[in-house]
Chains A and B, each alone.
Chain A
Amino acid sequence: EAGVTQFPSHSVIEKGQTVTLRCDPISGHDNLYWYRRVMGKEIKFLLHFVKESKQDESGMPNNRFLAERTGGTYSTLKVQPAELEDSGVYFCASSPRRAGAEQYFGPGTRLTVT
């Protein structure tokens, strides 16, 4: 069974540019989560999809971040326009749809905004 995959593994962009991160969850997992770690801080929750619906987006920092999950399969996280403080590692995780299910994480996308 394939794990959670993320693309790209690393992205370097200039301030003001747009970047789109992609996450492919484990097949059959209805829950999809985005997290990020900025330098020196703990990993923090961004948002949670159940299938194609946003269940919880309380962790999204501002309206420069837009997440979508078309058809309840893969998800994209767009940052537009990117700012220096957006630099960090963005993780995606997925889990089956049951309470307390284990979350499986992808390798992350390292975003560097210069």
Chain B
Amino acid sequence: NAGVMQNPRHLVRRRGQEARLRCSPMKGHSHVYWYRQLPEEGLKFMVYLQKENIIDESGMPKERFSAEFPKEGPSILRIQQVVRGDSAAYFCASSGTGGAFFGQGTRLTVV
């Protein structure tokens, strides 16, 4: 049973480009969460999704950020027109019953 898979592990984008981060939850998990971790800080919740539905996006910036979890395929976190301040580690977690399991993260660097 593979864990939560995130790709890419590292992503470099120039300012103004788009970043797409992918997350495949653990088998049997239907809840996906995205978090952002800035250097020297903890994890900040961004968005919680179930299949085809956004349940809670209270932690996600209103502009440039979007997330989806389609019926088929991975969850996608999309950042449009990236800025330097978007540089961070983005973690995805999935849960079924009991505990949220995290992927290895995608480290986004905006140059």
A and B pair up: no
Interface set of A (CB-CB < 8 Å, partner B): none
B residues with CB within 8 A of A: none
